[in-house]
């Protein structure tokens, strides 16, 4: 917290963690979105095939988009 950027807003989220077919998912749900969340997947290698559970509807890939990082979200709120 000593290095926190006080010019940005605080981000609140609920994180759900689950494993599915040997993959580890972190799903972040934000109170300012009612229709989407952000999923992060820990892979063993870059060429590992990603398989989402049937109950997760993937809207689109946002890897590398700065607007979907915690810092990016803190700037737009």
**Does residue 7 sit within a domain?**
no
Q: What is the DSSP letter of 66?
A: G
**Does residue 5 sit within a domain?**
no
pLDDT at residue number 16: 97
Q: What are phi and psi of 33, to 5 degrees?
A: -120, 130
pLDDT at residue number 77: 64
Cut 0.85: pTM above it = no
**Does residue 69 sit within a domain?**
yes
pLDDT at residue number 71: 85
**Does residue 9 sit within a domain?**
no
pLDDT at residue number 1: 60
**Does residue 63 sit within a domain?**
yes
Tell me how many domains the chain contains.
1
Within 10 angstroms of residue 73's Cβ, the number of other Cβ atoms is 20
**Does residue 34 sit within a domain?**
yes
Structural domain range at position 59 = 14-76
List the pLDDT tens digit at each of the 77 positions of the chain: 677 777 888 889 999 999 999 899 999 999 999 999 999 998 888 899 999 999 999 999 999 999 998 888 888 76
Residues near 42 by beta carbon (within 8 Å), at least 6 away in sequence: 23, 24, 26
Euclidean distance between CA atoms 74 and 14, whole angstroms: 15
């Amino acid at each position: 917290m000593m290095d926190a950027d006080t010019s940005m807003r605080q981000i609140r989220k609920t994180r759900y963690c689950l494993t599915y077919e040997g993959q580890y998912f972190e799903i972040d749900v934000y109170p300012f979105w009612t229709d989407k969340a952000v999923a992060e997947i820990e892979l063993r290698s870059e060429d590992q095939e990603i398989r989402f559970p049937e109950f997760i509807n993937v809207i689109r890939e946002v890897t590398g988009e700065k607007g979907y990082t915690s810092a990016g979200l803190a700037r737009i709120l």
